[in-house]
Structure 1
Amino acid sequence: MEALRNALPNDEVTADPTVPAEIAVVANPAPGVLAALPGLRFVQSAWAGVDGLLTDPTFPKHLPLARLVDPALGEQMAQAVAAHVMALHRQAPAYRAQQAQGIWRQLPQPLAQDRPVGFLGYGELAKACAKLLTDIGFPVAFWSRSEGDLEAVLASDIVVNLLPLTPQTRGFLSASLFARMKPGAALVNVARGAHLVEADLLAALASGQLSHAVLDVFKTEPLPAAHPFWRHPQVTVLPHVAAITDPVSASRQIAANIARFRAGEPLAGLVSSDAGY
């Protein structure tokens, strides 16, 4: 809140949802909160994803809604995805298993140029990730609703999910998709937990169709203590940390978007309520 006040020094910034407001800056408000603000004219998300807002049946969909577009988020996501891809490429899970058994064995190591990485979803965050991986030397394929080649993505050694969560993409990471992926490929999910059918992933790992999964997001967060992912040798669990909103950087971007709204200029990250992102 302090960072946002500093970025908007001429505005009254309050966390009280009962105060009349023309502009709301929100992350994951309780259902009905925004609908209770009759003078509201613009909603700015403090997160890159807006699926939580759009699943609120009371959300005022006639209002302009913008998701957060922040280069700092892209940088964080690119670093996280590059770290996961490099760990998989350099066979960290296999060496970790060997360490647990006291085995000293060098494994054949292919070159990055021979390990294609595919992206499901190709928005700002995925493009930042793809650029960094390309700079490292990995070939990159991508697919989104409007562009790219899904078959090339599924033929990749490592598939990274950065799809927006919509009714069409919910459960997209399922048995039918895994069956089309390259046998032995790895999955990195840094988008939303609801993209993944968890039982189908466990089955794909058990059969060897997939070799490993890096999961940063889950249907239920925190991940329940009894969940099989915690102790699965082919699953890396992270607590939703791939790209965490930086208050200072995000507040600057939010303030700039509010200025655009007031000036009648095109908004960064304007969401289509029909598309869901």
Structure 2
Amino acid sequence: MPVNVLFSARPELWPVYEPLLTKGLEQAGVDAHLATDLPADQVDYVVYAPNGGLLDFTPYTHLKAVLSLWAGVEKIAGNASLTVPLARMVDHGLTQGMTEWVVGHVLRYHLGIDRHITLQDGTWTPEAPPLAPERTVCILGLGMLGEASARALAALGFNVTGWSRSPKDIPGVTCLHGDEGLHDALASTEIAVLLLPDTPATENLLNAETLALLPKGACLINPGRGPLIDDDALLDALNAGHIGHATLDVFRVEPLPIDHPYWAHPNVTVTPHIASETRPVTAAQVIVENIRRGEAGEPYLHLVDRALGY
């Protein structure tokens, strides 16, 4: 009997993923039937994205696992009808893309590139930027994406601090954790990068109190999740000159409404959720490997801790 795999995502993704998954499963030796519409009680695996419309997993009585195409699983982790293992997407293409984006924007701040672009007015001001070891960068969130970004920045010579809820050990990175660690991490950084998941514990992590811990003039980069930041508190900190600049790629409402203050603020850069994305070729490989593992009775990769939400 073939393994039945339901693809539940945006319809335009089906012709992209179907040949990749079909070929990959064949090469992995898995006899599979892939479709966008299958009897619920015959489905073994669901390849899932929140925009696919599947909300109730109760009828899927034969389901073995749900395999997310998204790295963020906040839209499904709390679904009470889902009782089987849930795996999030950890894709080396997504990780590479995020690392490149983070490094690029850190270097932009570090080198003062904006000043030379916007103030090219004939004034000759030969002020060289500091070297990387003289600049402290903090990565808030040391999961797959945060660790990769921290390692890349450390390799460039930056003084990198990382913060996470639980203890971590990354060579070349000063790793802090817990409430006290968050205080110390923020108080010592000039450039803060947010790469935390969206959970009840991380919502508004950067608020009026925690933003005040950052040194005056610090810069903020958020390619993680929009709800990590209290927007009103950030705007207040920007207007007061406490935060020097913020580059924001993710927002509570997307697309960001045209009348949102971020668009017109002189010290905010808005990017349209482009820091990184799942690459079909590499993502399909992750999905195939998890189906192979499920059929072989091996542990799934990248399982979500439903209690933590990631």
Per the shorter chain, which TM-score range?
A: over 0.9
Deviations 1:143-196 (A, max 9, x none): 111022323421111111111111111111211110111221111111111111
Matched, 1:114 2:134: yes
Identify the match of residue 245 of structure 2 among 212, 216, 229: 212
Q: Secondary structure at the match of 2:193?
A: strand
Q: TM-score, normalised by structure 2?
A: 0.83
Task: Report what 1:229 is aligned to.
Answer: 262
Distance in 1 between the 2:138 and 2:241 partners? 19
Alignment of 1:1-277 (within 5 A): 1-2=17-18, 3-9=20-26, 10-16=31-37, 19=40, 20-28=42-50, 29-30=52-53, 32-56=55-79, 58-60=80-82, 62-99=83-120, 104-147=124-167, 148=176, 149-154=181-186, 155-277=188-310
Say which SS state the counterpart of residue 163 (structure 1) adopts. Answer: coil
Query: One-letter code of the match for 2:106?
Result: V
Cα distance in structure 2, aligned partners of 1:181 and 1:174 = 11
AA at the equivalent of 1:259? R
C-alpha displacement of 1:18: 5.3
CA distance 1:46–1:105, change in 2 (3 Å):
same
Whether the aligned pair in 2 keeps the contact of 1:119 and 1:141 (CA below 8 Å) is yes
Q: Which has the higher strand share?
A: 2
What are structure 2's unaligned runs of at least 5 residues?
Answer: 1-16, 168-175
Q: Distance in 2 between matches of 1:240 and 1:136?
A: 25
Paired with 2:147 and 2:248, the residues of 1 have a C-alpha distance of 20
Query: In structure 2, what residue type is equivalent to 1:64?
Result: P
Contact 1:142 1:152 in 2 (8 A): no
Find the residue that maps to 1:119 and give its secondary structure: strand
Give the Cα–Cα distance (whole angstroms) in 1 for the partners of residues 39 and 257 of structure 2: 34
Are the equivalent residues in 2 in contact too, given 1:171–1:195 (CA < 8 A)?
yes
Helix, strand or coil at the partner of 1:143: strand
Q: Is the 8 A contact 1:21 1:37 kept in 2?
A: yes
When residues 170 and 15 of structure 1 are mapped into structure 2, their CA distance, relative to the original with a 3 A threshold, is: same
Residues of 1 paired with 2:38 and 2:119: CA distance? 54
Change (3 A) 1:97 1:134: same
Task: Indicate the larger mover: 150-159 or 196-205.
Answer: 150-159
Aligned-pair CA distance for 1:32: 2.2
Asked if structure 2 preserves the Cα contact closer than 8 Å seen for 1:17 and 1:33, the reply is: no
Alpha-carbon distance in structure 1 between the residues aligned to 2:139 and 2:189: 9
Question: 1:39-69: CA deviations, max 9, x gaps?
Answer: 222011111111111244x441x21111112
> Is the 8 Å Cα contact of residues 118 and 160 (structure 1) preserved in structure 2?
yes
Superposition CA RMSD, Å? 1.8
Aligned residues: 274
- Which of 147-156 and 202-211 deviates more? 147-156
CA change 1:119–1:106 in 2 (3 A) is same
Please tell me the residue identity of whatever aligns with 1:37: Y
Q: 1:194–1:219: 8 Å Cα contact kept in structure 2?
A: yes
- Contact 2:78 2:309 (8 Å CA) reproduced: no
Structure-2 change in CA distance of 1:41 and 1:90 (3 Å): same
CA displacement 1:1-59 (0-9 Å, x = unmatched): 23223322331111226554111111214362433423222011111111111244x44
